[in-house]
Amino acid sequence: MDEMDFRPSAAISLGVELELQLLRAHDFDLSRGAGDLLALLEKRKLPGAVKPEITESMVELNSSVHRHHGSLRDELAVMRDAVVKEAGVLNLRVAGGGSHPFHDWADRRIFPTGRFRSILERYGYLAKQFTVFGQHIHVGCPSGDDAVYLIHMLTRYVPHFIALSAASPFYQGEDTLFQSSRLTSISAFPLAGHMPFVRDWAEFLEYYDKMRGFGIVASMKDFYWDIRPKPEYGTVEIRVCDTPLTVQRAALLGAYAQALVAYHLQERPRAPARAVYLVNSFNRFEASRFGCRGELVEPYESRRKKIGADILETIETVMPHALQLDGADALTELAADVRHGYSDANWLLECHTVRGSLPDVVRESAARWSGTPPDAR
Amino acid sequence: MDLSFLPQLPFALSAPIMFGALLAAGLLAGEAANRYASLPRITGYALAGVALGPQLSGLLSSEVLHALSVLIDLSVGLIVFELGFRFDWAWLKRNRWLLVTAVAESLFGFGAIFGALAYFGFEPVLAASAAAIGTATSPAVVMLVAHELRAEGQITERALLFTAVNSVFAYVALTLLLPLLHIELQVGWLEALLRPLYILGGSLLAGAAACMLMLALARWLGKREDRQFVLLVAMVVLTVGVARSLNLSVMIALMTLGVLARNLDRRHVLMPLRFGYGGQLFFVILFVLTGAGLEFGAWATAAGLVATLLVVRFLGKGLAILLFGRLSGVRTGGAGLLAIALLPLSGLAVGMVRDTSELSPAFGKELAGILLAAVAISELLGPLATQFALRRAGEADPGARGG
């Protein structure tokens, strides 16, 4: 079977990938313990999978496929506990968050596999600066054409996912003033951006074959798009989220994506529009910089709105679908966070103000990820 | 014409001249060893010391070395403090086999040396004292090779942890053995017991008091790396000075300061530690002076015994790590590398041998000579072993210009 054949998957099924930070216990800088950690985890029976990522400072949790975000959350919690426990044996800590607040990118070492080495060779320092941590959300699609349609639809909501997941205000030891600084490191890659405005799967394949013919890409993996189709899983993959600080929030984001997909697949409220891509980089910047307090340009109505307000409206619109997917609680929780101005980025900023140093922020963030109560202040 | 404004020649070698010259000599020798012979820089520093020391050129006389011994204590103090500061109780709690492995590593090392010495017919108490001294791995070598290679990973972390444990083990075991030596010498019971109690208890107290003071001051200073760095150096130097003045153990006091600072800092007022370039100054001096003080005397007469001791020590340590290492999460093949990394005998042994010899002339000249020869050889070859192990473990930074 051709790797580009779209294998239909159960519509609106849900799965996530979480890239995690591995930290040294003594100074909370990034460690390089991925190899040892993965070797220990191999001995355990776990749901999902834990995989190496581009540098030895990260591992990736892959969930299995779920129908509801509740079971996804429970599975992620099991995986998290196992990873935290085995990391403890090696005196490593694990944390979420989209960036490590103060690591020096030049210290990073590439995980020794052929693919990662070739990325380093090709992209130079970009590859090491790529030590950022994202959540990828997969939602199942019945066909390639549906995937193309969904990508055009979901692109409008890219700023939502950025704002809701934002957890990388610090980068290279500085407060970037961004809610999510992580996306900037990804934008530097030549194949970052978005899928072209194709009408259906056939047209997408035409484009893909051309790019392969030019020798620009070797596989779908070479596109670092915000949202891309994943034919071998039969999913669309939303890739703009920072890894949140908790598995709970990772599951909430999954629930939101699932409800959005259900709404668009079942109601088909809009047709794809080029205007979405005209405003995309502006909206994306606003969301990365200001989070929910930023403004987006609504491409269908050609007007500006607060991102937070737009999220709340959208949640209301998709709520009936969330109800059917057991996701209503999740969306209510997300909406409450938006109203209260909560974001993981703000939590990290607040932690920095209270604690006074970035290693403290990382320590607290690791404790939060592990689900242990914070230390006495 | 009155030329009295000109200095008298030859002018006296003042402390700054000595310090600067040693630093430059060490630095150049280290760089040369690294560039032309691919040796660790530390070996180069020590070789410079050997060349300048009483054994070869005599530019550094024994008196000068004695006068400069405070510099050794300061450097060792900084290193032992850092070693303690990386000693994490929480890790031992999460990984109980780690503590078992660390203790077994010390015990097996001790047992192996003791067995060999007893086999060669040394008195049990003397053999046990020598075995205690010989168990310790050099904190300076392991720490500095790890720094130089920017090594990071499980083998490096464990090498540092085991070094901390076997250094403390060695010192405590020796201190507890001293009363036996005293009793053999028919010193009063009370004195025989009070002395180790005073040294151990006093060193612990000194370290603990310094830690409390440091935490209080750090809290007041706030989270600024530059200020905390100065505070840290100040407290280390102060503690070294206090320990010397009160005839306490610099090693135990500074280890206590480090371990408590890491593990009692519940409010997390201390920032992570980076000695950087400042520390480097002390470390060059440390190895030059250690090199100058090395004694190869017994090497010629007892090469076989020295080599035997080093080999059985390696086997003992290796066996312990092999038996328990896997249970504590050491990967396959890691046990051997760890045992190699732990090869360098501690320069602290020099001080311990002297202390013991002073107390008890019965601490045979021969045995002292053998230990010192073993230290000498492993000061020079030890860094190579540690470097090899950390490189082989894949934990050295390929970009770091190590040896």
pLDDT of residue B337: 93
Lowest mean pLDDT among A38-42, A262-266, A318-322, B186-190: B186-190
Subunit contact B223:A360, Cβ cutoff 8 A: yes
**String of DSSP letters for A250-266:** HHHHHHHHHHHHHHHHH
> Does any domain span residue B91?
yes
Structure tokens at A109: 């070492």
Q: Give which of B102, B220, B74, B210 is closest to B162, Cα–Cα.
A: B102
> Does any domain span residue B256?
yes
pLDDT of residue B403: 42
When scoring A89, A102, A358 by the number of chain B Cβ atoms within 10 A, the one with the most, hence best to mutate, is A89
Residues of B in contact with A29 (CB under 8 A): 272
Whats the size of chain B, residue-wise? 403
- H helix or E strand, kind and range, residue B76: helix B69-85
Alpha-carbon span B106 to B319, nearest angstrom: 11
Subunit contact A26:B85, Cβ cutoff 8 A: yes
Subunit contact A88:B91, Cβ cutoff 8 A: yes
3-state secondary structure of B229: helix
Alpha-carbon span B216 to B279, nearest angstrom: 24
> Does any domain span residue B329?
yes
How many beta-carbon contacts under 8 Å exist across A and B? 61
A171-221: per-residue pLDDT in tens?
Answer: 989 999 999 999 988 888 888 999 999 999 999 999 999 999 999 999 998
| A14-370, CATH topology level | Creatine Kinase; Chain A, domain 2 (3.30.590)
Beta bridge partners of A193: A225
Domain extent for B139 = 19-32+39-392
pLDDT of residue B65: 82
pTM of the model: 0.88
pLDDT in tens, chain B (403 residues): 777 787 777 666 677 787 788 889 999 999 999 899 888 889 999 999 999 888 888 788 888 888 888 888 888 899 999 999 988 888 998 888 999 999 999 999 999 999 999 998 888 888 998 899 999 999 999 999 998 888 888 899 999 999 999 999 998 998 888 777 766 666 677 777 888 889 899 999 999 999 999 999 999 998 888 889 899 989 999 999 999 999 998 999 999 999 999 999 888 888 887 777 777 888 898 899 888 888 877 777 788 888 899 999 999 999 999 998 888 888 878 889 999 999 999 877 877 787 777 767 767 677 788 888 888 888 888 999 999 999 998 888 876 554 4
pLDDT at residue A331 above 90?
yes
> Does any domain span residue B369?
yes
When scoring B94, B95, B97 by the number of chain A Cβ atoms within 10 A, the one with the most, hence best to mutate, is B94
Q: Give which of B272, B250, B264 is closest to B350, Cα–Cα.
A: B250
Q: Does A360 touch chain B (CB under 8 A)?
A: yes
3-state secondary structure of A244: coil
Residue in B94, B150, B152 nearest the CB of A89: B94
Please tell me which residue of chain A has the smallest CA distance to B154.
A90
User: Which residues from B are below 8 Å from A when comparing CB atoms?
Assistant: 85-86, 88, 90-91, 94-95, 150, 152-154, 157, 222-223, 262, 266-268, 271-274, 328-329, 331, 395, 397-398
CATH assignment of the domain containing B360: 1.20.1530.20
Mean pLDDT value of segment A120-139? 87
Number of structural domains (chain B) is 1
Subunit contact A36:B328, Cβ cutoff 8 A: no
Cα B328 versus chain centre, distance: 25
pLDDT of residue B12: 67
When scoring B93, B97, B259, B271 by the number of chain A Cβ atoms within 10 A, the one with the most, hence best to mutate, is B271
Q: pLDDT higher for B366 or A150?
A: A150
In sign, the C-alpha dihedral spanning B230, B233, B236, B237 is negative
Residues of A in contact with B95 (CB under 8 A): 88-91
> Does any domain span residue B172?
yes
Residue with tokens 């190895």: B287
Residues of B in contact with A25 (CB under 8 A): 88, 90-91
pLDDT of residue A126: 82
Subunit contact B95:A360, Cβ cutoff 8 A: no
Distance from CA of A171 to the nearest CA of B (A): 18
Residues of B in contact with A107 (CB under 8 A): 150, 397
**Direct distance between the N- and C-terminal alpha carbons of chain B, in angstroms, rounded to an integer:** 56
Subunit contact B272:A355, Cβ cutoff 8 A: no
Residues of B in contact with A39 (CB under 8 A): 331
Subunit contact B272:A29, Cβ cutoff 8 A: yes
pLDDT of residue B178: 78
> Does any domain span residue B2?
no
pLDDT of residue B399: 65
Subunit contact A39:B331, Cβ cutoff 8 A: yes
pLDDT of residue B402: 47
pLDDT of residue B60: 80
Lowest mean pLDDT among A97-101, A217-221, A338-342, B344-348: B344-348
Do B203 and B248 touch, CB atoms closer than 8 A? Answer: yes
Q: Does A198 touch chain B (CB under 8 A)?
A: no
Residue in A25, A36, A363 nearest the CB of B88: A25
pLDDT at residue A30 above 50?
yes
Would you kindly state where each structural domain of chain A is located, as residue ranges?
14-370
A40-96: per-residue pLDDT in tens?
Answer: 898 888 888 998 887 888 999 999 999 999 999 999 999 999 999 999 999 999 999
